[in-house]
């Protein structure tokens, strides 16, 4: 926009090129983001472990609702633990070699990531029943929620692993190849 309020016929972006080519700043920001991400996972893991041991030690608060919370916390702990394993073991060489153990680590990470969502779904089912069918919570059983939280994600991840094995068997099953939608096998149920 010019000083007289009209638009120029052509924009002058020559002053922006220096900003676009500042690679050092980009690398530094990336490293800071990686450190913040790692610290966030560490803090989360400490808080989750404290909560886990509180549920373990305080037997007086054990009821179905708290057992569901405890399993959700356990799912988050296992997901964070596999995240740390991924961060420590997945070097570019391992990533490109596509060895079986790195594919198992990826499958474990995705399984525990899925269990987080299914345990949250279990929490929602319990709360819905407690609110809508107030006097029916005594009919709910622990095994129902264990099936929702731990069992349902397993065949989903097995189906995803079979799809990856046949259609996208590269780079330790991380990332997506154009036109291959196998990751939606496990991401779809989490989105719903």
Write out pLDDT tens, residues 172-182: 888 777 777 88
Query: Is 37 a domain residue?
Result: no
Which one has a higher pLDDT value, 4 or 157? 157
Query: Is 23 a domain residue?
Result: no
User: CA-CA distance, 163 to 103, in Å (whole number)?
Assistant: 13
Query: Is 125 a domain residue?
Result: yes
> What is residue 104's predicted lDDT score, i.e. its pLDDT?
95
| % of residues, the chain, pLDDT over 70 | 92
In this prediction the pTM is: 0.82
3-state secondary structure of 4: coil
- In total, how many domains does the chain have? 1
User: CA-CA distance, 182 to 9, in Å (whole number)?
Assistant: 47
Query: Is 156 a domain residue?
Result: yes
User: CA-CA distance, 46 to 25, in Å (whole number)?
Assistant: 32
Q: What's the pLDDT band for 45 if we cut at 50, 70, 90? A: very high
Query: Is 66 a domain residue?
Result: yes
pLDDT in tens, 90-132: 888 888 888 999 999 999 999 999 999 999 999 999 898 888 8
Which one has a higher pLDDT value, 192 or 16? 192
Q: Sort 134 into a burial class: Cβ within 10 Å, 0-12 / 13-18 / 19+.
A: exposed
For 109, the domain range is 62-191
Sign of CA dihedral 66, 70, 76, 79: negative
The CATH number for 111's domain is 1.20.1070.10
pLDDT in tens, 5-44: 787 777 776 666 665 555 566 788 888 999 999 999 999 9
């Amino acid at each position: 926009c010019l000083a007289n309020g009209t638009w120029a016929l052509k924009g002058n972006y020559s002053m922006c090129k220096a900003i676009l080519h500042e690679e050092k700043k980009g690398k530094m920001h990336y490293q800071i983001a990686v450190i913040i991400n790692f610290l966030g996972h560490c803090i989360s893991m400490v808080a989750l472990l404290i909560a886990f041991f509180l549920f373990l030690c305080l037997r007086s608060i054990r009821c179905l609702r708290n057992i569901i919370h405890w399993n959700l916390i356990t799912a988050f702990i296992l997901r964070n633990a596999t995240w740390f394993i991924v961060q420590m073991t997945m070097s570019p060489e391992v990533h490109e070699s596509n060895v079986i153990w790195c594919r198992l680590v990826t499958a474990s990470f995705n399984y525990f990531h899925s269990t987080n969502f299914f345990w949250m779904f279990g929490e929602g089912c319990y709360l819905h029943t407690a609110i809508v069918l107030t006097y029916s919570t005594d009919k709910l059983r622990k095994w129902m929620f264990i099936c929702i939280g731990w069992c349902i994600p397993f065949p989903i991840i097995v189906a995803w692993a079979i799809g990856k094995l046949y259609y996208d068997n590269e780079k330790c099953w991380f990332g997506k190849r154009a036109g291959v939608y196998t990751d939606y096998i496990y991401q779809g149920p989490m989105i719903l």
